[in-house]
Chain A
Amino acid sequence: MPGIATTDHAEILRRPGRGGLRAALLRWTFIALALTFLGGLLFAPLAVIFGTALGRGLPQAVAIFADTDTRAAVQLTLLVAVIVVPLNTLFGIAAAWAIAKFEFAGKSLLITIIDLPFAVSPVISGLVYVLLFGAQGVFGQWLIERDIAIIFALPGIVMATMFVTFPYVARELIPLMQQLGNDEEEAAITLGAGGLMTFVRVTLPKVKWGLVYGIILCNARAMGEFGAVSVVSGHIRGLTNTMPLHIEILYNEYDFVGAFAVASLLTLLALVTLVIKTVVEWRSGSRGS
């Protein structure tokens, strides 16, 4: 019998002989230090984003979205996300199934390659596509002859974003599916269920929260990617400018209100992502216990 709630660490402080002034002093020092560290690094920038955006009133901040270039940037960002996220979700599920459910040679190699985009600088993620499809790239001449634009156009942006975001779903699902084991799936198969049926009815309900988390992280990164997209986009206003790139342009033009107004939109997206993440963790946590 494990007694009462073993993960409640705060309980330790209520033990006999622990409630002294020194302990309280130490505790509040720690809390103060942690909050100061976070305050300067995290909370102040967060506040400054909304503060600057709304510095001249809400109408001023909203006005930036009336600008056609800004709207084009928002639309492009959404378009990229709509293409990239479903593809990467599909890939993530397929990769997780192959890796978590089967033992095969080369598995750890595959996992390492999936992790690769996490370790590679976003600039390199863009660079490789320029080397492949740019004017002096491997396929450059071939593409120019056929008048197909990849670099400095939508396909390049999509591919660079895909590169950067493709581990997210797989990375969430693989450990989860490995931990849950194969028993239930094998039971379903012996009961006569098909592969798709087994996945939808047996596996998916177990991993759905992990999947949701993977997808929202993938989406957040896809909409917010800067380095990789910056390299392949060409920064053509109204055409190949995504929201993060547009922020850079506005910022460099000293339109701080505009830059931070667009930034606060992306920040809201990030905050929503965190809320969903917290809810997902809470749901899966309460379900697990």
Chain B
Amino acid sequence: MAASGGWRQPSILPGFGLTLGFSTFFVSAIVLLPLGALVLRTASMSPADFFATVLAPRALASYRLTFGASLLAALLNAAGGFLIAWTLVRYEFPGRRLVDALIDLPFALPTAVSGIALTAVFAPDGWVGGWLAAQGVQVAYTWSGVVLALTLIGLPFVVRTVQPALVEVARDLEDAAETLGAKPFTIFRRIIFPAVLPALVTGFTLAFARGIGEYGSVIFIAGNLPMRTEITPLLIVIKLEEFDYSGAAALGFMMLLISFVMLLLINTVQAWSRRRLTVGR
């Protein structure tokens, strides 16, 4: 095994060939081959057709909604998620452990279930929606409904990245800052926040990336009006239902491209935060 060239460091542990072989095969069959089909399909289109599809007004409107709503939802989550993480780490209150456990619910709950539940709550005849309607605000079946659904989906990302950072970083440095004479708000602004910022950015990026691809929870509450409340994944489904495979592939290719960029961004952010947090230990 060690003779198999310089591409791996020798190890006495067995099973390298078997496990790597199996993993590679599995990954190829389940992920790479299908994704290859998507790229192939897109490549077989003429450039004119491709651009006509991905730059169609309806497509552009869907990008705007998908990105805008994801961005807004991620921002909302950055603020709300930080607040929740702070409260869970810092304060003792009845039911804290239950709330802490329930934060992960959007991870575990099927998106379709989140979708219909949110719609039921925020529809004009729902619990919250009814009250909002009385104030003249409509959430369900508008773009703000999309934001709401994406906020729910992205919430655990921010809370779960910020929470451990708060636990780990605060105590020691906070003690030091306090003995040096800093007031609580100064400690927060100058010590805690900068230390937690990388985690917050990571959580924000993760929530943002998740929002862009989200489908199940959005379509129930969005209303799905072309040009107004139609997200890109829904547009792909519509193209498929019209048997416009090429159109669906082209839009899918665009989203895949975006996903790659997001993945790159997340990795960069994480590497940056790791560097910031682990130096000096």
Residues of A within 8 A of B (CB): 6-7, 9-10, 12-13, 23, 27, 30-31, 33-35, 37-38, 40-46, 48-49, 52, 90-91, 93-95, 97-99, 101-106, 110, 112-117, 119-124, 127-132, 134-138, 159, 162-163, 166, 182, 185-186, 189-190, 194-195, 198-199, 217, 220, 223-227, 230-231, 243-245, 247-248, 251, 256, 259-260, 263, 266-267, 269-271, 273-275, 277-278
Please tell me which one of the listed residues A7, A130, A231, A274 contacts residue B104 in the complex, with CB atoms under 8 A apart.
A274
Cβ contacts under 8 Å, B202 to chain A:
none
On chain B, the number of residues with a Cβ less than 8 Å from chain A's Cβ atoms is 97
A-B residue pairs in contact (CB < 8 Å), sample of 18 = A9-B167, A13-B91, A30-B86, A101-B11, A104-B8, A113-B32, A122-B213, A123-B213, A124-B236, A124-B252, A124-B255, A131-B40, A182-B13, A189-B14, A195-B14, A223-B110, A251-B220, A259-B116
The answer to whether B48 has its CB under 8 Å from any CB of chain A is: no
The answer to whether B279 has its CB under 8 Å from any CB of chain A is: no
Residue contact B22 to A48, C-beta cutoff 8 Å: no
From residue 73 to 124 of chain B, which have CB atoms closer than 8 A to chain A? 80, 83-84, 86-93, 99, 101-114, 116-118, 120-121
Residue contact B259 to A274, C-beta cutoff 8 Å: no
Q: Give min CB distance, B173 to chain A, whole Å.
A: 12
The answer to whether B143 has its CB under 8 Å from any CB of chain A is: no
Cβ contacts under 8 Å, B90 to chain A:
9-10, 12-13, 27, 30
Cβ contacts under 8 Å, A137 to chain B:
37, 245
* Alpha-carbon distance between A194 and B259 when the two chains are bound, in angstroms: 42
Residue contact B84 to A37, C-beta cutoff 8 Å: yes
Please tell me which one of the listed residues A115, A121, A194 contacts residue B213 in the complex, with CB atoms under 8 A apart.
A121
* Alpha-carbon distance between A34 and B7 when the two chains are bound, in angstroms: 51
**A97 in contact with B19 given A119-B213, A127-B236 (CB within 8 Å):** yes
Residue contact B27 to A113, C-beta cutoff 8 Å: yes
Residue contact B259 to A121, C-beta cutoff 8 Å: yes
Residue contact A103 to B9, C-beta cutoff 8 Å: yes
Residue contact A132 to B37, C-beta cutoff 8 Å: yes
Known: A119-B259, A224-B109, A274-B101. 5 other contacts (CB 8 A): A49-B117, A115-B263, A131-B245, A230-B215, A273-B108
The answer to whether B194 has its CB under 8 Å from any CB of chain A is: no
Please tell me which one of the listed residues A48, A97, A127, A274 contacts residue B105 in the complex, with CB atoms under 8 A apart.
A274
Q: Give min CB distance, B247 to chain A, whole Å.
A: 11
* Alpha-carbon distance between A225 and B116 when the two chains are bound, in angstroms: 14
Please tell me which one of the listed residues B108, B174, B237, B259 contacts residue A12 in the complex, with CB atoms under 8 A apart.
B174
Please tell me which one of the listed residues A90, A95, A131 contacts residue B249 in the complex, with CB atoms under 8 A apart.
A131
The answer to whether B72 has its CB under 8 Å from any CB of chain A is: no
Residue contact A105 to B7, C-beta cutoff 8 Å: yes
* Alpha-carbon distance between A73 and B45 when the two chains are bound, in angstroms: 38
Cβ contacts under 8 Å, A116 to chain B:
31, 35, 259, 263
Query: In the complex, which residue of chain B has the Cβ closest to the Cβ of A35?
Result: B99
The answer to whether B34 has its CB under 8 Å from any CB of chain A is: yes
**A244 in contact with B256 given A30-B83, A98-B20, A194-B14 (CB within 8 Å):** no
Residue contact A199 to B15, C-beta cutoff 8 Å: yes
